[in-house]
Amino acid sequence: VVGGKVKKPGKRGRKPAKIDLKAKLERSRQSARECRARKKLRYQYLEELVSSRERAICALREELEMYKQWCMAMDQGKIPSEIRALLTGEEQNKSQQNSSRHPKAGKTDANTNLLLGN
């Protein structure tokens, strides 16, 4: 006797409701369908991620090969046209910056002249 009430011996908590077996099976099927859909989306995302990383790797390999060829050409004393354009572009930018700061414009860097063969 607790608080004036008589307790019945047995299990505590809620009594299990009588669940319709067909409804339970349908919920299970629906849950399985949702799980498969989530799994499919996850795999699609991962496949897209892998393919984008593979494309990035290919682009980096091509860039590395280009740099290797530039280095081999420079080892032979040749300056690739891309590097020449890059250096002359930098020289033009420097001269434009210097002309806006100093009245003596047109001075070139000695190292750039050596690389360009001037």
- What is the per-residue pLDDT for 11? 66
- What is the per-residue pLDDT for 105? 47
Does 64 reside within a domain?
yes
Residue 118, pLDDT > 50, answer no
CA angle 48, 61, 43 (to 5 degrees): 15
Structure tokens at 54: 């593979």
Name the average pLDDT for the chain.
81
What mean pLDDT do residues 85-108 have? 70
Does 33 reside within a domain?
yes
Does 11 reside within a domain?
no
Does 54 reside within a domain?
yes
Does 6 reside within a domain?
no
User: Per DSSP, which regions of the chain are E strands?
Assistant: none
Domain that holds residue 72: 21-88
Total number of domains in the chain: 1
Residue 114 phi, psi dihedral angles, 5° rounding? -65, -45
Does 30 reside within a domain?
yes
Does 14 reside within a domain?
no
- CA proximity to 118, closest of 108, 51, 25: 108
What SS3 state is found at 2? strand
Question: Is 71 in contact with 83 (CB distance < 8 Å)?
Answer: no
User: Could you report the per-residue pLDDT of 9-57, keeping only the tens digit for each?
Assistant: 666 766 656 668 888 999 999 999 999 999 999 999 999 999 999 999 9
Rounded Cα gap, residues 18 and 22, in angstroms: 12
Rounded Cα gap, residues 22 and 37, in angstroms: 23
Does 104 reside within a domain?
no
Rounded Cα gap, residues 13 and 114, in angstroms: 90
